[in-house]
Amino acid sequence: MSQTIQPIGAAQRREVEAATADCVARVSRALGREFPVPSVRFDLRGRTAGMFRSDGRSQWIRYNPWIFAKYYRENLEGTVPHEVAHYIVHSLYRRRRVAPHGREWQAVMALLGAPPEVTFDRDLSDIPQRRQRTHAYHCGCRQHDLSTTRHNRVRRGSGSYLCRACGEALRPGSGVD
């Protein structure tokens, strides 16, 4: 059994923050437009190395300190520009819908000299994982396991889901009609 990886420490966090600021500055110079450096957080868990978020008033980039610890150089060179590119595209096209990894994002990645890779497929067996509980739902043909997030949407009345096979609405419970 392998030992669980420990998250990156303060010195490496500062280096990741500096790399994030450097990417933003490089795009700012290339586009002739000033972009503020978003807040950087090291609170991401699970199988995702990085994530750009916005709540309308502020933007921030979240990094997974455990994945960075295991694959530090790869994440510094790949994940940091990847998330900065999402931030820049959001800043440029806020009012328009653009594909998450579409041509706008790919163009920013090119400005950063980073390959426009979308997935981070590495061994994460020794990275702490958050497991989400599933909830049994059914339709006319089978049982479906919905995540807690989707289950809560159904309970609040803000979401409903259809079976892709038979087209019926999913209902709580495990029995098939």
Residue 64: partners with Cβ closer than 8 Å, 6 or more residues away:
42, 44, 45, 46, 48, 49, 50, 127
End-to-end CA distance of the chain: 44
d(CA 176, CA 163): 12
Residue 124: partners with Cβ closer than 8 Å, 6 or more residues away:
47, 67, 70
What would the two tokens of residue 39 be? 């807040």
The one catalytic residue in 15, 17, 34, 83 is 83
Helix (H) or strand (E) holding 73: helix 72-74
- Establish whether 83 is a catalytic residue: yes
Q: How many CA atoms lie within 13 A of 163 on its CB side?
A: 18
Beta bridge mates, 145: 136
d(CA 52, CA 94): 13
Which residues are catalytic, by number? 83
